[in-house]
Chain A
């Protein structure tokens, strides 16, 4: 049985500058009139209600009323099930609103299917959206991405076809912030190493001089204070950490709420932090944001944590820095590529923890991302205000 978590509507959630307030309103009533191929119009009433339940959990429920049985809009997905496809229970959720067409079905019957497809649901970066695909889908209106990162999508090219792109910034924020904290704590306290000692057949006693470093009252430098970065700050504050942040823009209100100090120059943050956490999106500006120079500015006792994208770090420079103890350790949920080649030096360093890109890998988050993507896709198809549209620069 899975339990889902609601977006808290009533809390003042700090907005990234420029983002529409609509994005935070999850009580929608969408009235849709449907597709040019249908004889009758379909009315969908969608409500995302949040309410406390007895155990204190907040839940979301989507109530859908289909007024008439007509053809649902076609949505292309890579596959259902298996290790790379859309999860079975997500497919069930999607089917409430859409006619799901797998890549296989599409390729086997291009002529008929291509006209039906109004949207692509991109899950774990698949299917790949290339020019050829876009050219073969004349009625495509929107790419609904599951997840917040869109660095795998060529936004300019997609836009040139008149197709919109949406992502799911709300569903990802909590679980990704949690993984950032999990990695920071695990690295600081040498948790993975410790587990290995605790279960190793060679262990005869626990050495009392086996030590980690403190998290409480240490200095955390957050690079990229968007929604996720802000949630990291909220959590870190509960550990009495001193919080510095570097961002394209200063966020004065949010600073006060979490006691964070703005570092206009990233160098200042790097020099003062015990933990540096990367929470930026991947753009041409942030590619290799952390290289040899930046690593050299960090304290030799500092830890680098990456929950953004592998390419934000110059990986070769990181390997060198770790080998030469320029920094103390690294904890990475993301690398480039994923997975790393099995002979990559990062896999052998004992001051590195790597997790397999699990920032949003929770039962709850996967479901919420699908719901958020569905809401976005439906908004586009129904000509409603779009909660999370992503625009090319």
Chain B
């Protein structure tokens, strides 16, 4: 558009541990005039009226009432990733601000990570690696064993896009697949992966060797897995969480792991992230934790950025917004 200014879009910062990626900036600057939080705060009077969109990369910048009140021309907040539990949708809606996320692009990477955690936990991969490289290792003991994934029973709690992709992958390992979901999936979808619906989560918990959480975080799923649910699980079972830390009652989990109520846990998500350095979960031998890397691949993050750009452009043009999130 000749002569027309690029829309002003607020970001947290560029680079560093929390910022927009340096190698994404080139693409973004073709479409937007990026304003960092620092620049905004230094020149509020001028910039506050110019900013029409917020590019929220990994939950930053934080959008609160104060910020919304000072950005009268804000039209849209584009949030990275699929989860929107960090956003107050009602608040945003009350200011007439639209919201978008990137729901589908994260699915395969997240499902892959769920499988990676299940395999790593079951076959004791992290422990094994530590043994293989430890200066104290003199031989590999013959009585050091893990448990098989192939042919075992996987219970998927939350069979949305990501849960279904996990089921597709687990099928390749000839796992028996159970799932619990708000609603039953279509018969063709079930039979394509050989998944059996468990209307009651208890049935799934009692029969599974691996319980994998792929729900979104809502008031209904908050502490979905607590003391009762952990006790329903087999003592030989493993809990895998690739959803949100708050879906699990973390204190109950610590107790269950300490008392061998369940065998092990593998968590890509905790509450908070990172955990305090003295948290008991960090010390338990039967836990592996990854630093919330469900969608952490170069390709996926690039596509996320491109989708967010598209959503912002549509939002500013008054067109239907791809991946709009409604309150």
Interface positions of A (Cβ within 8 A of B): 5, 55-58, 83-85, 87, 123-124, 174-175, 177-179, 181-183, 185-186, 188-192, 194-195, 197-199, 201, 203-217, 234-240, 338-340, 342, 347, 353-358, 361-366
Contact = CB atoms under 8 A, between A and B. Distances in A.
Nearest to B17: A207
Contacts of A236: 172
Given A84-B142, A179-B123, A189-B293, 18 more contacts: A57-B153, A83-B142, A177-B150, A178-B119, A181-B173, A186-B120, A186-B125, A192-B125, A203-B277, A206-B274, A213-B299, A214-B108, A216-B112, A239-B115, A347-B132, A353-B125, A356-B137, A361-B145
Nearest to A182: B119
Contacts of B120: 182, 185-186, 191
Contacts of A123: 142
Contacts of A362: 123, 145-148
Leading 9 A-B pairs by shortest Cβ distance: A238-B172, A185-B116, A182-B119, A56-B176, A198-B289, A216-B108, A354-B132, A83-B141, A356-B140
B137 to A, nearest CB: 5
A373 B140 CA distance: 22
A210 B140 contact: no
Contacts of A208: 17-19, 57-58
Given A362-B145, A363-B145, A237 B172 contact: yes
B129 A355 contact: yes
B40 interface: no
B298 A357 contact: no
A10 to B, nearest CB: 13
Contact of B125 (A182, A347, A366): A182
Nearest to B284: A199
A207 to B, nearest CB: 4
Contacts of B147: 362-364
Interface string B287-325: 011111100111111000000000000000000000000
B46 interface: no
Nearest to B18: A208
Nearest to B167: A238
A352 to B, nearest CB: 9
Interface of B: 15, 17-19, 21, 57-58, 108-109, 111-113, 115-117, 119-120, 123-126, 128-129, 131-133, 135, 137-153, 168-174, 176, 207, 273-275, 277, 282, 288-293, 296-301
Contacts of A195: 126, 288-290
Contacts of A340: 132
Given A56-B153, A195-B290, A211-B301, A217 B140 contact: no
Contact of B282 (A124, A199, A357, A358): A199
A84 B142 CA distance: 5
B172 A234 contact: yes
Nearest to A200: B277
Nearest to B111: A216
Contacts of A365: 148
A46 to B, nearest CB: 23
Contacts of B119: 178, 181-182, 185-186
A236 B170 CA distance: 11
Contacts of B170: 238
Contacts, number: 209
Given A189-B113, A198-B290, A358-B124, A174 B146 contact: no
Contacts of B275: 198
> Looking at A83, A188, A206, which has the most chain B CB atoms within 10 Å of its CB?
A206
Nearest to A174: B150
Contacts of B131: 356
A185 B114 CA distance: 10
Nearest to A83: B141
Given A194-B291, A362-B145, A211 B137 contact: no
14 contacts: A55-B207, A58-B151, A87-B143, A185-B115, A185-B120, A190-B293, A192-B125, A211-B298, A213-B298, A214-B108, A214-B298, A216-B109, A338-B140, A342-B135
Contacts of A57: 151-153, 176
Contacts of B151: 5, 57-58, 174
Contact of A178 (B144, B173, B301): B173
A199 B289 contact: yes
B112 to A, nearest CB: 5
B60 to A, nearest CB: 9
Given A208-B57, A355-B125, A361 B144 contact: yes
A205 B138 CA distance: 36
A358 B139 contact: no
Given A179-B123, A236-B172, A238-B171, A356 B128 contact: yes
A361 B301 CA distance: 36
Nearest to A364: B148
Contacts of A217: 108
Contacts of B21: 209
A178 B148 contact: yes
Nearest to A232: B172
B177 to A, nearest CB: 9
B116 A182 contact: yes
A390 to B, nearest CB: 22
Contacts of B137: 339, 342, 356
A57 B289 CA distance: 29
A189 B277 CA distance: 23
Given A85-B142, A203-B274, A358 B113 contact: no
Contact of B296 (A211, A358, A364): A211
A194 B273 CA distance: 13
A355 B128 contact: yes
B172 A204 contact: no
A207 B17 CA distance: 4
Contacts of A206: 17, 273-274, 291-292
A58 B150 CA distance: 11
